[in-house]
Amino acid sequence: MGKQVLHSIALVVMVFLGGCSTMPGTFNGLGSDPMSMLVVYRTDKQQITEEQYKAVGAIAQEASNQVGLQLSSSLEAAISSGFPFGIAGAGGGAVEGGLAAGAAGTAGFLGGFVGGLQNASYANVWLVADITEVTLRDREASGDKTLKGLHVSAAFIRTGNTVVEPAHGLIRRK
């Protein structure tokens, strides 16, 4: 159990050392690069152009900015998830005594804390993807032919896309 607690603490520290534009794995929604949260594709079997990729990047960045103004913080999500798990763990550990209650409560809190961070990540990814897709459809409907057949989907694990550069082989280079 001690090893699991250490791994959980290491993960929490890694997440909060932050400043990274992209975050690993299921924590990609905690990063600041919205393109790492998106899979971009075309429905006409053509490759995405640089112009299209840049347009999606700009839309995704604006979506991310809007979502960031409205969602509660990832710390709030982590703590509000960690406390119920910690209390439950401490209650279960109390059967064995004080030290076990403290250990089980701490482990429960850390597990809930990490789960809360994942929930915050998932919420951010889904909202950025949804708003980006809706904006693509709105712009296409208003006559923007560049975006015809271009779509995005949420990626709950980090993609190879960044605002600066698409995943290798994704776009057609001129």
The whole-angstrom separation of Cα 152 and Cα 129 is 7
Going by their DSSP bridges, the two strands 171-172 and 48-49 should be labelled as parallel
pLDDT at 11: 52
- Higher pLDDT residue, 102 or 70? 70
pLDDT at 87: 83
Domain count, the chain: 1
| Per-residue model confidence as pLDDT tens digits over 136-160 | 999 999 999 999 999 999 999 999 9
Determine the 3-state secondary structure of 40 from DSSP.
strand
Determine the 3-state secondary structure of 95 from DSSP.
coil
Q: Supply the angle between the helices 98-141 and 74-93 in degrees, to the nearest 10.
A: 150
Query: Is the distance from CB of 158 to CB of 25 less than 8 angstroms?
Result: yes
pLDDT at 88: 86
Please provide the DSSP assignment of 103-158 as one string: HHHHHHHHHHHHHHHHHHHHHHHHHHHHHHHHHHHHHHHTT-GGGTTEEEEE-SS-
| Per-residue model confidence as pLDDT tens digits over 7-38 | 455 455 555 544 456 678 889 999 999 999 99
Domain limits for position 113? 2-172
Q: Mean pLDDT, the chain, as a whole number?
A: 87
Has residue 54 got a pLDDT over 70? yes
* Chain-centroid distance, C-alpha 61: 14
* Chain-centroid distance, C-alpha 105: 27
Determine the 3-state secondary structure of 38 from DSSP.
strand
pLDDT at 86: 86
Determine the 3-state secondary structure of 72 from DSSP.
coil
- Which has the closest alpha carbon to 123: 100, 148, 154, 98? 154
The whole-angstrom separation of Cα 140 and Cα 125 is 22
**Interval 89-100 mean pLDDT:** 79
Determine the 3-state secondary structure of 17 from DSSP.
helix
| Per-residue model confidence as pLDDT tens digits over 34-52 | 999 999 999 998 999 999 9
Task: Give the pair of three-digit tokens for residue 74.
Answer: 């990832």
